[in-house]
Amino acid sequence: MGKELILVFIAASITNNFVLTYFLGICPLIGVSNKIESAVGLGLATTFVMTMAATVTWLIYNKILVPFDLVFLQYVTFIMVIASLVQFVEMFIRKTSPQLYRALGIFLPLITTNCAILGLTLFMVLRNYGFLESVVFGLGAGVGFTLALVLMAGIREELVFADVPEPLKGTGISLIVAGMLALAFMGFGGIISG
């Protein structure tokens, strides 16, 4: 059981990195990640919401939707759960730690439309994960997302000094850099052959 969980974690965070192999959460990758600091902030907030979302949607899906034959409401419920979760997290952080809120606050609303979170819950259902696996899957996916975001931000901080061809400035070069990162991450593929 323990080994299984570690495998799920490594797969979600590195070998099958959400951003670089499933293309989930590209918008923040291209849009936000200009500074390492904000990348870390957004990454942490997302990781938190992902873990929570995996936990809550697993319970709702397996304890309510499936037993009552309501699977066709899956997408509507999942997106509502994620939206309310984000709202709740925002209120909670604002009440308990204004400092943390100042650091993360602006990112929180962005998280709802981050496809990585809905994607996570959908993959979780598709793969038939058990409860613990789902929680670990959410955590791993969040860590992987943070990793990709921070790497990207680091590269882009350096890119400012590079001589990028005029038409590729901005989006173009970001996408190409992401492509290189994706290639590099394929190298991790052998890790779990063990």
Partner 1 sequence: MIREFTKGLWKENPIFVQVLGMCPTLAVTTRALFGFSMGMATLFVVVCSSVVVSSIRRFVPRQVRIPMFTIIIATFVTAADYFLKANFYQISKALGPYVPLIVVNCLILGRAEAFASKNGVGRAFMDALGMGAGFTCALVVLGSVRELLGAGSVFGYRLMRDGFTEWVVMILPAGAFLTLGLLVGLFNIINSKKRGAVRAG
Partner 2 sequence: MKRIVSGNNAIKMITALLAVGILSAVSLVFIYQRAIPKIEANVREETKEAIESIFPGAAKIEKIEGKEIFRVEDAGGRLLGYAFPAEGNGYQGIIKLIAGTDPDISVIKGMKVLESQETPGLGAEIDSKDFRAQFAGLSIERPVEYVKNRKPEKPYQIEAITGATISSRAVVTILNNGIREIRKALKDEP
The binding site for partner 1 (CB under 8 A) comprises: 20-27, 30-31, 72, 74-76, 79-80, 83, 112-115, 117-119, 122-123, 126, 165-168, 171-176, 178-180, 182-183, 186
Q: Which span (25-33, 41-49, 111-119, 126-134) binds partner 2, by CB under 8 A?
A: 126-134
Kindly identify the residues of this chain, within the stretch 60-79, that bind partner 2 according to CB under 8 A: 72-73, 76
Question: Does 184 interact with partner 2 (rule: CB under 8 A)?
Answer: no
Distance of closest approach, residue 97 Cβ to partner 2, in angstroms: 28
For 8, residues 6+ apart whose C-beta sits below 8 A from its C-beta are: 129, 133, 136, 137, 140
- Nearest-angstrom CA–CA distance, 31 and 185: 21
Q: How many residues bind to partner 2 according to rule CB under 8 A?
A: 12
Residue 29 C-beta-side C-alpha neighbours within 13 Å: 28
Q: Which does 67 bind (CB under 5 to 8 A by kind): partner 1, partner 2, none?
A: none
CA distances from 134 to 5, 52, 74, 81, 187 (A): 9, 10, 17, 16, 25
Question: Does 1 interact with partner 2 (rule: CB under 8 A)?
Answer: no
Distance of closest approach, residue 28 Cβ to partner 1, in angstroms: 10
SS3 state of residue 141: helix
Q: Which does 145 bind (CB under 5 to 8 A by kind): partner 2, partner 1, none?
A: none
Q: Which span (44-52, 102-110, 125-133, 166-174) binds partner 2, by CB under 8 A?
A: 125-133
Buried residues in 13-30 as b, exposed as e (16+ CB within 10 A):
bbbbbbbbebebbbebbb
Residue with tokens 């997290």: 89
Chain residues binding partner 2 by CB under 8 A are 16, 21, 72-73, 76, 123, 126-128, 189, 192-193
